[in-house]
Amino acid sequence: MFGLPSALLYLAECYVIFVNRKRLRASSFFNLFLLRSIPSLINFVSAYAGGHRFGRAGWFLSFYKLVPTQILVIPFFIGYWAFHAENFASAFMLLNRLSSVFMPLAHVRMWRNFLFPISVIVTVGAPAIICHRILFLDVFIRVQADNSTFTLDYFTRNTNFEDMAWDGGDFWAAVFGIIFLFICTFLNLTTIFAYHRQRRQYESGQQTTNHIARLEWKLTVYALATFLTQLLMCVYQIVIWACVIIGASTTKLFLTTFNQSPWINDLSTIAVPAWLMLWASTMVRTLVAEMFFENTFVVWVTSRATTNLSDKSTTPISIRLRSSQALTQSVM
């Protein structure tokens, strides 16, 4: 329900950040924002094209039955690749916030010359290595008992647990979800501790320093909040894997859990990152507003006649926004 509007907002934010990236403070953080948005938006589109959401509604079943296995495996792969990529990107965003507190002077140069290129390689490459075996699965359409709804499933030629774990993506999604939980929890606690140590220094600074500190604080809150939503997705993957290894007797439990995927996925990967960015960055909020609304808007004010104070009328006043130019020197 909130997936499509959030995805459009996410795209708008990515566009204005990319176009105005040289004007934004904390540019390394916004670069990581763009990096994480790529798997999130790809996964959102793939969830429709791959039949995940259409299958839940029972749409286009006859069409998907005609799709070859080599095509069906692509959205299956993309879904797990995007999950791992978002985890890696979220971890790098938390590392970015930690370095901005611990090493404020070397932070910009370090991320521009060293850490951001590494984060791109790891975020894109590591999930592909983790999920590459999915590309060799025999994926098929599993029609449910109502003969309408369907899901993507795969054949496995292995019978022991260890080999089955290497075949599908559920096992590694659960394993790396747990690893992500511990690593990002450590980064969160360390960042909060370091920020509180630096808080007095920020408060005693000049107004410009305080302005930058507020931006850094908001971006830190943004990283922490999006981590919590990504954690929800990790817990979901762990529950899915638990349902799988328990056995066929949990079919109803599995389907009940699996059907929660659309709103969990939209909330954790699209809605919260997109809408929370409007709060975190005044500049992004202003530029996005100028995309969706004209530069002039009408304010209706009540005017009173000088001869008769009880006579009220509404008069439109056109006001032209110049906020993006005003914020060029002071970006938040």
The predicted pLDDT at position 324 comes to 43
Measured between alpha carbons, how far apart are the two ends of the chain, in Å?
Answer: 30
The whole-chain average pLDDT of the chain stands at 76
Residue 43 has pLDDT above 70, yes or no: yes
Give the model confidence (pLDDT) of 136-172 as tens digits: 888 878 787 777 777 777 765 454 444 554 556 777 8
Contacts of 209 (CB under 8 A, 6+ apart): 202
Q: Which two tokens stand for residue 130?
A: 């983790």
- The dotted CATH code for 3-293 is 1.20.1070.10
Measured CA to CA in angstroms, residue 268 lies from 94, 144, 232 at distances of 16, 27, 7
Secondary structure element (H or E) that encloses residue 315, with its range: strand 312-320
Phi and psi dihedrals of 155, rounded to 5?
-85, 145
Give the model confidence (pLDDT) of 77-107 as tens digits: 888 899 899 999 999 999 998 888 888 778 8
**Contact present, 305 and 280 (Cβ < 8 Å):** no
Angstrom distance (rounded) from CA 121 to CA 223: 20
Domain boundaries, the chain: 3-293
Beta bridge partners of 139: 154
